[in-house]
Structure 1
């Protein structure tokens, strides 16, 4: 098994009083990367090779640990994890770094945050990539709240729900604060209306694995976005799609076409 890339040094800033960790590497046009539920900036973007791919493509890569995740501050009130609140963390990081605008790449929960950021602060998002999130941004949420029960169970052996087992095992693997993650899943499963999605004006790529049972189909969501387009990630379920070469190549190509 190949060794994981060396972890990148993290910095922190305060977002409305909450300590948020991030890294900032490379040179060129900035791309802000927002990871998925129970993951972190390193697990989602460094270890699967995204930082290497994007820096080789001439990009400055910025990624944060969402609140409750990684090295960022842990909170235990579900209201602290509303998607609009986490979108403000992303905007706050851009303010902290003096970035007026950036391309934004999100995966799963991070894609939901990206969509809310693009809706609420359209001038800040030059283009958006919604990975691992399709029409369930509008219809059906995606991750079930029963995942919180799985995270709070005494042990993995007591979790019988398949999705719950997957995320509990992932949280164990990443040594996450499971109580913070349980609050996050209860607070962050926020929907957009079709009309709100239609107000996202930036070029947007919606990329979902063809075997993904969590995200929902990409094509119906892309069709609601005026400059939306869909990308199928062949033969990939939700988690394996993260580092897929088709996904990476599609994102690099999409960014190269951005006005």
Structure 2
């Protein structure tokens, strides 16, 4: 891994060349809540899939996650603040424009990146988050409580228990995650979504009870399209082979000019 500094954070990232040794169009990957570049992108095979398809893959550990600096200040974790890390990473690498692919919380960060730095976006892929981008993804306050609960066996909230287990499996800093979840769910309005003019692919699992409708979000976007990840829930959709195939098709349909 490499690192760079932005806004007082040391941000860890990888920069993988295409498997064929060429230059390749850059794809920036932004992972989800309580995850990391390793869990979200390496383990499900995305980096392998993309590099073998001829793309240069850049993936960061979001602030508060993985090997990047942790903060216990919720103000550090708004999607806008987190998007500055992604923008600064592209600048650090001298990349003027990239394909940007975010999953779940990473999709929200990607949307803010597109809103605030549209010149950097060639295409946008939003995985694991549909209309929940606009109308919210339910009550997540119990998840923050579950993350800092002294005894995980005492957690009764199903989604809280799921994310606590996930955070423990990924050996995350749970106090940092609790701070992150407090402010990282900022909504994007329908009006804001209509201003994202880049081609956008929205992929959501048909059994995902968190993300909201892919079709309803895509309908707001001037160049949006939805993709149903059949039979997959929020956790399993990310590694789905049909989703990978559609993403590769989408990228090849929209080369960087």
Q: TM-score, normalised by structure 2?
A: 0.96
Q: Which residue of 2 aligns with 1:3?
A: none
Q: Which residue of 1 aligns with 2:21?
A: none
Shift of 1:145: 2.3
Q: Which residue of 2 aligns with 1:156?
A: 152
Q: Which residue of 2 aligns with 1:258?
A: 254
Q: Which residue of 2 aligns with 1:39?
A: 35
Cα distance change of structure 1 residues 185 and 65 upon mapping to structure 2, 3 Å threshold: same
8 Å contact 1:142–1:215 — kept in the other structure?
Answer: no
Q: How does 1:164-203 map to 2 (within 5 A)?
A: 164-203=160-199
8 Å contact 2:137–2:212 — kept in the other structure?
Answer: no
Shift of 1:143: 6.5
Shift of 1:16: 1.4
Q: Which residue of 1 aligns with 2:6?
A: 15
Task: Give the counterpart of 1:75 among 63, 71, 74.
Answer: 71
Question: How many residue pairs align between the two structures?
Answer: 250
C-alpha distance in 2 between matches for 1:210 and 1:159: 27
8 Å contact 1:199–1:225 — kept in the other structure?
Answer: yes
Cα distance change of structure 1 residues 54 and 172 upon mapping to structure 2, 3 Å threshold: same
C-alpha distance in 2 between matches for 1:150 and 1:170: 11
SS in 2 for 1:138: helix
- Structure 1 runs, 4 residues or longer, greater than 6 Å off: none
C-alpha distance in 2 between matches for 1:156 and 1:241: 26
Where structure 2 has 5 or more consecutive residues not aligned to the other structure, the ranges are 19-23
Task: Give the counterpart of 2:118 among 107, 115, 122.
Answer: 122
Residues 1:24 and 2:15 aligned together: yes
Residues 1:236 and 2:227 aligned together: no
Where structure 1 has 5 or more consecutive residues not aligned to the other structure, the ranges are 1-9
Task: Give the counterpart of 2:215 among 209, 219, 243.
Answer: 219
SS in 1 for 2:135: coil
